[in-house]
Amino acid sequence: MKTGFVAVLLSILISCASAGLTQGQISEQENTSHADSTYGDLSEKEDCILNYARSCNERNIDRFAELFRPDCEFIYIMGKPDFNADTYSGQTLKKTDLKSELESMGNFFAGVGGLRFEIGTGTWMRLDSLSGDPCPDCWKTTRGYSLSATFGQGAESRVMNGQGHMEFIISPVDGKWKILRHIDQPMDEEGNE
């Protein structure tokens, strides 16, 4: 089962105007606000990567959906990776649009009993064009990832482990960075009973 994986900051403002709150209630709200703020607001390029990983681990399809431009293209490559090439000759490609990807990821999130998704560090490189067309303010990064997904329960459960590389190409939309192209290159996938 291969599918790509990533979502966005929810700003929570705590109103202290309500005099009925106890200190414990305020503390609990502050903890919730702090936890939610780790999503980031997509004002920085790296927010796309952090939000992608967190939305996958939390299986939060709404946060995941917020990461992408409406015209985002998803590409899954089977075969030898070459992220520096403009074409992927000799490799099997699967391309999908945002609607199909969100449906697929929503089903994946609903079907797993547990998911651990980690994405590595990387650097950003400026792009001048994408598929031969000018791409103003576009950036790309390639990151390694690993995942472990549990399907079923108890003695019937099955764990799928995998690793690979993802390339994210991003560009700004209304002051926020959004993913314009997502390329997934699975390197190794194995199922464990």
CATH number, domain containing residue 185: 3.10.450.50
pLDDT tier for residue 19 given thresholds of 50, 70 and 90: very low
- Select, from the ranges 58-62, 128-132, 187-191, the one with the highest average predicted confidence (pLDDT): 58-62
Question: What pLDDT does 90 receive?
Answer: 57
> Residue 17: inside a domain, yes or no?
no
**Residue 86 neighbours by CB distance under 10 Å:** 9
> Residue 174: inside a domain, yes or no?
yes
Per DSSP, the residues of 143-172 read EEEEEEEEESSGGG-EEEEEEEEEEEEEEE
> Residue 85: inside a domain, yes or no?
yes
The residue with greater pLDDT, 8 or 127, is 127
Question: What pLDDT does 153 receive?
Answer: 79
> Residue 118: inside a domain, yes or no?
yes
Residue 168 makes CB contacts below 8 A (sequence gap 6+) with 48, 49, 52, 140, 141, 143, 179, 181, 182, 183
**Gap between the Cα atoms of 158 and 147, Å rounded:** 14
Residue 11 has pLDDT above 50, yes or no: no
> Residue 104: inside a domain, yes or no?
yes
> Residue 6: inside a domain, yes or no?
no
Query: Quick check: pTM over 0.85?
Result: no
> Residue 9: inside a domain, yes or no?
no
Percent of the chain clearing pLDDT 90 (strictly above): 55
> Residue 2: inside a domain, yes or no?
no
Residues 163, 146: contact at Cβ < 8 Å? Answer: yes
Task: Domain of residue 61: give its range.
Answer: 23-192
The residue with greater pLDDT, 123 or 79, is 123
Q: What are the tens digits of pLDDT across the range 21-56?
A: 333 433 344 434 334 556 888 999 999 999 999 999
Q: What are the tens digits of pLDDT across the range 55-65?
A: 999 999 999 99
